[in-house]
Each structure stands twice: as structure tokens, then as C-alpha cells.
Amino acid sequence: MDLINQFGQMLQSNQNLLLGLTLWEAFWTLIALWFSARNNHKVWFLVCGIMNFFGLIELFYLFSKTNFFKSFRFDE
């Protein structure tokens, strides 16, 4: 419980970190919701829309069920 309290205090004292985490979560959630709606993945749409944990569920969906990450070119 002490670790959770320390994390909460860190977020309160560093609001830029809180804003960054919020934007990170919103970005990946919206991308996953967009792809799951387009691909008619209703269960994934509900899971991504209801459960949020630092974008991990959304990233897992995008990696495993779509071509979202396959089109990235890191060598350019």
C-alpha cells in the first residue's frame, strides 16, 4: 500500500507526468477503439472501452489483431 501512496504523491507533485500518462492512455485507447469498431470486434471494443490499464490491453489488441504495427518502418 505504501508504494501506491508514493506513486500518488509523485503524480500530485509532478502534474506533467500525470498529463503525459493521461495522453498516453487516451491515444492508445482511441486507436484500439477505432480499429476494433472498423473490424467489427465487438468484444474487444467493449474490453478496450471499459478496462484501462496504461494502454496495455489496447496495445495487445493492436499488436495481435490488426496490422497497425506491421506498417511501421523504423529504418526511415
Give the predicted TM-score (pTM) of the model.
0.61
pLDDT, one tens digit per residue, over 33-71 is: 999 999 999 998 888 877 766 677 777 888 888 887 777
58: nearest Cα among 27, 37, 18: 27
11 belongs to a structural domain:
no
Q: What is residue 73's predicted lDDT score, i.e. its pLDDT?
A: 63
66 belongs to a structural domain:
yes
Quote the number of domains for the chain. Answer: 1
28: nearest Cα among 60, 65, 55: 55
12 belongs to a structural domain:
no
Phi and psi, residue 53, nearest 5°? -145, 80
> Domain containing 59: what range?
22-76
**Interaxial angle between packed helices 2-13 and 15-38, expressed in degrees from 0 to 180 and rounded to the nearest 10:** 100
Q: What is residue 40's predicted lDDT score, i.e. its pLDDT?
A: 95
65 belongs to a structural domain:
yes
Burial label for 12, CB within 10 Å (0-12, 13-18, 19+), is exposed
* Grid cell locating 7: 506513486
